[in-house]
Amino acid sequence: MNAIARLRDFAARRRTEERCGLCGAACEERHAHLVEAATALVLCACPGCAAVFDHSSGPYRKVPDRVVRLDLGLTDADWSGLGLPIGLVFLRRHPALGTVQAFYPSPLGAVESAVSPEEWEALAVRSPELRSMEAGVEALLLRRTGGVREAYIAPIDQCHALIGLIRREWRGFSGGDGVVPAVERFFAELRARDGGRS
């Protein structure tokens, strides 16, 4: 087994050994997530801890599973006004600070930048459903790649999963052949969940 294969095997084992961020219990492959309200840190959660914090107040908030597709009709000028340098991004309101941050995927993980309150408010006027987005645990996921334009209110753990997917699939300088199909599959699954409620 070569070094790359050993690293992939190690990473696969680590994914199956995820532990609850609160009590340390082992988590199944598909498990709930909590967000620490003060820091916006996303934590894995066992069923017991997820049940304790199954509400929107307190020190931890459970990430809901709803997905809502939005029709924002963003133009190129709107995109530029938001200061978004690439065509894939999620915007999250910090649960404690109220600020809005944009996160972009990269081969090394998420790159973060600030979004102006005025630009965020303009988006909320365009799509009042954004006001229902729960700070910290949900995000506005925007895609403008390959002629496709999509916008969703999505669970924050799914947004981070997209970042991880791109890191995992990226090869070389341009991303290789695996990134685009993986992103397409991700958004196909997201579309299938549109309208779900936690």
Instruction: Tell me what pLDDT residue 74 has.
Output: 83
Domain match, 15 and 104 both: no
3-state SS, residue 72: coil
Instruction: Tell me what pLDDT residue 64 has.
Output: 93
Instruction: Tell me what pLDDT residue 86 has.
Output: 86
At position 107, the amino acid (one-letter code) is: P
Taking the alpha carbons at both ends of the chain, their separation in whole angstroms is 43
Tokens of 196: 């779900």
Domain match, 140 and 163 both: yes
Instruction: Tell me what pLDDT residue 151 has.
Output: 94
Final residue before a domain boundary, out of 43, 62, 81: 62
Instruction: Tell me what pLDDT residue 90 has.
Output: 95
Instruction: Tell me what pLDDT residue 73 has.
Output: 83
Residue 48 burial (C-beta neighbours within 10 Å; 0-12, 13-18, 19+): exposed
Instruction: Tell me what pLDDT residue 197 has.
Output: 44
What residues of the chain score a pLDDT lower than 50? Answer: 196-198
Instruction: Tell me what pLDDT residue 195 has.
Output: 63
Domain match, 53 and 86 both: no
Domain match, 113 and 144 both: yes
Q: Are 26 and 33 in contact (CB under 8 A)?
A: no
Domain match, 55 and 81 both: no
Q: Are 185 and 148 in contact (CB under 8 A)?
A: no
Domain match, 58 and 72 both: no
Q: Are 134 and 93 in contact (CB under 8 A)?
A: no
Final residue before a domain boundary, out of 62, 91, 109: 62
3-state SS, residue 64: coil
Domain match, 38 and 79 both: no
Domain match, 55 and 68 both: no
Domain match, 27 and 72 both: no
Residue 107 domain boundaries: 64-198
Q: Are 90 and 103 in contact (CB under 8 A)?
A: yes
Final residue before a domain boundary, out of 38, 62, 86: 62
What span, in angstroms and rounded, lies between the C-alpha atoms of 97 and 116?
14
Domain match, 32 and 89 both: no
Instruction: Tell me what pLDDT residue 198 has.
Output: 42
Domain match, 28 and 76 both: no
Instruction: Tell me what pLDDT residue 5 has.
Output: 58
The total number of structural domains in the chain stands at: 2
Extended strands (E) in 46-187: 60-62, 68-70, 88-93, 100-104, 111-115, 138-145, 148-155
- In whole angstroms, how far apart are CA 30 and each of 2, 56, 118, 133, 173? 29, 21, 37, 23, 31
Domain match, 30 and 71 both: no
